[in-house]
Amino acid sequence: MTEERRTGRHKLTVDQRENVTVTGVLDVISFDEESVICETDMGVLVMRGTDLHLAGLNLESGSLSIFGEIVSVNYESQGVPGARKKSSVFGKIFK
């Protein structure tokens, strides 16, 4: 991934702890039913929960939608080890 950042605003919206919309997404590092880790304009965002599903992803516009039971949302201050060293699956598919 290049060091160029999209100019845009990062926004995180959580509705009823079931639906999450994120803008300013640069890459999805990993996801499964218990966590979604993505790189945003404002740093690495880690969302944890149960029965999480990716409802939509558009890396060109930088938007991500997730539904399921959200338990926590956290910005990693140090990032996720290895996150910048290798491309994510979504980064390769949606490039």
Indicate whether 84 belongs to any domain: no
What is the pLDDT averaged over residues 40-68? 95
Print the domain residue range for 54: 11-77
Q: How many percent of the chain have pLDDT more than 70?
A: 72
Number of domains, the chain: 1
In which residue are the tokens 């079931």 written? 18
Q: Is residue 88 assigned to a domain?
A: no
29, pLDDT greater than 70: yes
CATH number at 48 reads: 2.60.40.2000
Query: Is 87 contained in some domain?
Result: no
Task: Give the rounded distance of the alpha carbon of 57 from its chain centre.
Answer: 9
Whether 61 is covered by a domain: the verdict is yes
- How far apart are the C-alpha atoms of 31 and 20, rounded to whole Å? 14
Residue pair 47/72 in contact by the 8 Å Cβ criterion:
yes
pTM: 0.73
| DSSP H or E run through 53 | strand 43-58
1 domain-assigned: no
